[in-house]
């Protein structure tokens, strides 16, 4: 079982740092000109009409380059699983963006990628970024919007001739979604010491490939993985921009929001074991069918979540022997549950397990429940959050609400070690973890501008 710790306070401000990767001089454009004009939002999913940034590597150019990688031609969803070919292509893209800007490229011991402006050894660095991997048939924005916006925000700061007083880094955390090995945020958990090397070595995908084997096959050294406190000690603040995975901003009419807290959440594996038998010849009364108790448990999860004002989902299932004409011997279902507070979450999961045990007993089925991962409530650093609100509050055209979320993020993991904050960009449908996930061009541009403002406020004089 994997568990993270609570948050800690902010850090003091550092000294001046040179910017070796400051790149060619570019004309400064007034801030307001970089905002999109009003009117009908333009979809970024299919066409990338006009580059918003003048410098090479504009938001639109980057988006266009990333768009085909790992995209399934039939579903339109993304399959960028950790350490696979599609993930490798995304990593190559990140490296190319880093080098084209004259930033210093680094891969840390856990396979996370870093692009540095200035010398990390100076300390008190400001870090931004997100992830490039996806859930099965995920959307284009969850993760990549944060990484692309980070590079675009750096371009924007160079347009402004910003004077950096602290090192700045853009990071791509590995395996945020946990789609392949079942555990989310592996790269940041390892770095923060919230996943031990032994636990990481035991992670295995659906084909029996272990995490070390997968890393090695992708050209990374699994022998190096482990906690990285020295790296974290050099970071003064981490700010992750992310597409909102809900409709709070759409309902409030705001383009950009600040994260307040992440709901406590976890994954539980339910193994229902019955008896395999012939689907045509076994009398109903003679069956020990685990599918029945599983089906009843799915309904119980819905009921318990509704009672507690929480959410509970069985989104993944494995059946053995998985034959259309055989009663299953095993039904393995994974429960993902999240709630605003720990008491509600405990009530939901406890209620689902109690019901599942009753249903299993009624059908002569054995049940094992294993908590595979758990993340307690995350309260983002209040001082950093207030600083973001102060910086963004300077823009009279922008109101920036503070939002809670039920989605997990690397920022939530890192909040146990360093001051972290998040910016959310409006998602007009709220849909996420689906090919239909979306953010309008104007809102993405507002997100880049807000991130640039925040980074300027935190890292520049
Ligand atoms: C990650 O996106 C999660 O919340 O599961
Ligand atoms: Mn996600
Ligand atoms: Mn994400």
Global pTM?
Answer: 0.87
Q: Give me ligand 1 centre to Cα 60, in Å.
A: 26
Atom index in ligand 1 nearest the CA of residue 135 equals 2
Q: Of the ligands numbered here, which is closest to the C-alpha atom of 240?
A: 3
336 and 289 inside one domain: yes
Most informative mutation of 261, 409, 410, 432 for ligand 1 (most atoms within 8 A of CB): 409
Candidates 425, 445, 424; CA nearest to 52 is: 445
Neighbours of 75 (CB within 10 A): 12
Which one of the ligands is nearest to 265 CA? 1
Q: Where are the alpha helices (DSSP H) in 182-289?
A: 186-192, 197-202, 211-217, 229-233, 248-252
The set of protein residues with a Cβ atom below 6 angstroms from ligand 1 is: 177, 184, 407-408
**Separation of CA 313 and ligand 1 centre (Å):** 12
**334 and 196, same domain (yes or no):** no
The reply to whether 358 and 416 lie within a common domain is no
CA pair distance 448, 445, nearest whole angstrom? 5
The Cα–Cα gap between 241 and 150 comes to 8
Token couple for 458: 């935190």
Low-confidence winner among 35-39, 106-110, 375-379 (lowest mean pLDDT): 35-39
Of 375, 394, 417, which residue is a domain's last?
375
287: domain CATH number?
3.30.70.360
Q: Same domain, yes or no, for 335 and 224?
A: no
Compute the distance from residue 23 Cα to the ligand 3 centre, in Å: 30
Residue 272 shares a structural domain with residue 224: no
CA–CA separation, 191 and 185 (whole Å): 10
Question: Are residues 239 and 311 both part of a single domain?
Answer: no
Give the per-residue pLDDT at 397. Answer: 83
Question: Does one domain contain both 207 and 228?
Answer: yes
CA 202 to centroid of ligand 2, rounded, Å: 23
50: domain CATH number? 3.40.630.10
pLDDT at 412: 97
Both 78 and 139 in a single domain?
yes
Ligand 1 atom nearest to 142, measured from its CA: 2
Q: What is the DSSP letter of 323?
A: -
Considering the chain, what percentage of its residues have pLDDT values greater than 90?
Answer: 86
Asked if 29 and 54 touch (Cβ cutoff 8 Å), the reply is yes
How many whole angstroms from 360 Cα to the centroid of ligand 1?
29
Contacts of 350 (CB under 8 A, 6+ apart): none
Atom of ligand 1 nearest to the CA of 338: 4
d(CA 82, CA 91): 10
| Domains identified in the chain, total number | 2
Closest ligand to C-alpha of residue 185 is: 1
Last residue of a domain, one of 319, 346, 375: 375
Lowest mean pLDDT among 39-48, 397-406, 420-429: 39-48
Q: What is the pLDDT of residues 167-221, one digit of tens each?
A: 999 999 999 999 999 999 999 999 999 999 999 999 999 999 999 999 999 999 9
Same domain, 444 and 364: no
Instruction: For residue range 239-286, list pLDDT tens digits in order.
Output: 999 999 999 999 999 999 999 999 999 999 999 999 999 999 999 999
Do 11 and 38 have their domain in common? yes
What tokens does 15 get? 């000294």
Quote the mean pLDDT of the chain: 89
272 contacts 293 by C-beta, under 8 angstroms: yes
**End of a domain among 307, 342, 375?**
375
Domain that holds residue 288: 265-375
- What integer pLDDT is reported at residue 15 of this predicted model? 22
| CA pair distance 333, 179, nearest whole angstrom | 15
Q: Which atom of ligand 1 is nearest to the CA of 433?
A: 2
Neighbours of ion ligand 2 (CB under 5 A): 142
Do 83 and 182 fall within a single domain?
Answer: yes
Spatial contact of 136 and 431, defined as CB atoms under 8 Å apart? no
When pLDDT is cut at 50, 70 and 90, the band that residue 77 belongs to is very high
Q: Identify the H or E element spanning 444.
A: helix 441-459
Question: From CA 175, how far away is CA 83, in angstroms rounded?
Answer: 8
Per-residue model confidence (pLDDT) at position 395: 87
Are 293 and 251 contained in the same domain? no
Centre of ligand 1 from the C-alpha of residue 339, in Å: 14
At residue 46 the predicted structure's pLDDT band, cuts being 50, 70 and 90, is very low
């Amino acid at each position: 079982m994997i568990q993270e710790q609570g948050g800690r306070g902010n850090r003091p401000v550092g000294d001046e740092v040179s910017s070796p990767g400051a790149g060619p001089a570019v004309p400064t454009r007034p801030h307001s000109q970089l905002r999109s004009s009003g009117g009908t939002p333009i979809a970024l999913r299919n066409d990338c009409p006009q580059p918003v940034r003048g410098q090479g590597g504009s938001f639109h150019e980057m988006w266009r380059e990333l768009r085909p990688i790992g995209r399934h031609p039939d579903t339109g969803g993304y399959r960028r699983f950790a350490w696979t070919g599609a993930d490798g292509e995304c990593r190559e893209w990140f490296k190319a963006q880093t080098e084209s800007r004259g930033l210093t490229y680094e891969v840390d011991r856990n396979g996370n990628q870093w692009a540095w402006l200035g010398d990390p050894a100076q300390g008190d660095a400001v870090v931004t970024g997100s992830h490039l991997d996806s859930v099965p048939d995920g959307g284009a924005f969850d993760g990549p919007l944060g990484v692309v916006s980070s590079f675009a925000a750096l371009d924007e700061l160079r347009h402004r001739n910003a004077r950096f007083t602290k090192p700045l880094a853009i990071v791509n955390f590995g395996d945020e979604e946990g789609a392949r090995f079942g555990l989310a945020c592996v790269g940041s958990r390892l770095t923060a010491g919230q996943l031990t090397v032994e636990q990481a070595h035991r992670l295995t995908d659906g084909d029996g490939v272990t995490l070390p084997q997968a890393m090695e096959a992708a050209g990374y050294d699994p022998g190096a993985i482990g906690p990285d406190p020295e790296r974290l000690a050099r970071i003064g603040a981490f700010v992750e921009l992310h597409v909102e995975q809900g409709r709070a901003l759409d309902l409030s009419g705001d383009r950009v929001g600040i994260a307040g807290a992440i709901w406590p959440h976890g994954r539980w594996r339910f193994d229902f074991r019955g008896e395999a038998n012939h689907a045509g010849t076994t009398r109903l009364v003679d069956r020990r069918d685990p599918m029945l108790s599983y089906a009843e448990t799915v309904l119980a999860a819905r009921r318990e979540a509704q009672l507690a004002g929480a959410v509970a989902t069985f989104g993944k299932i494995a059946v053995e022997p998985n034959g259309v004409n055989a009663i299953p011997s095993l039904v393995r279902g994974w429960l993902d549950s999240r709630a605003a507070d720990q008491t509600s979450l405990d009530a939901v999961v406890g209620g689902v397990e109690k019901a599942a045990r009753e249903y299993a007993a009624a059908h002569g089925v054995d049940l094992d429940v294993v908590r595979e991962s758990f993340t307690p409530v995350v309260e983002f650093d209040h001082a950093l959050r207030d600083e973001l609100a102060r910086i963004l509050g300077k823009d009279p055209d922008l109101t920036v609400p503070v939002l809670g979320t039920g989605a997990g993020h690397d920022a939530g993991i890192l909040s146990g070690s360093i001051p972290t904050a998040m910016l959310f960009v409006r998602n007009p449908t709220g849909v996420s973890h689906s090919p239909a996930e979306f953010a309008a061009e104007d809102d993405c541009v507002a997100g880049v501008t807000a991130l640039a403002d925040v980074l300027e406020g935190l890292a520049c004089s």
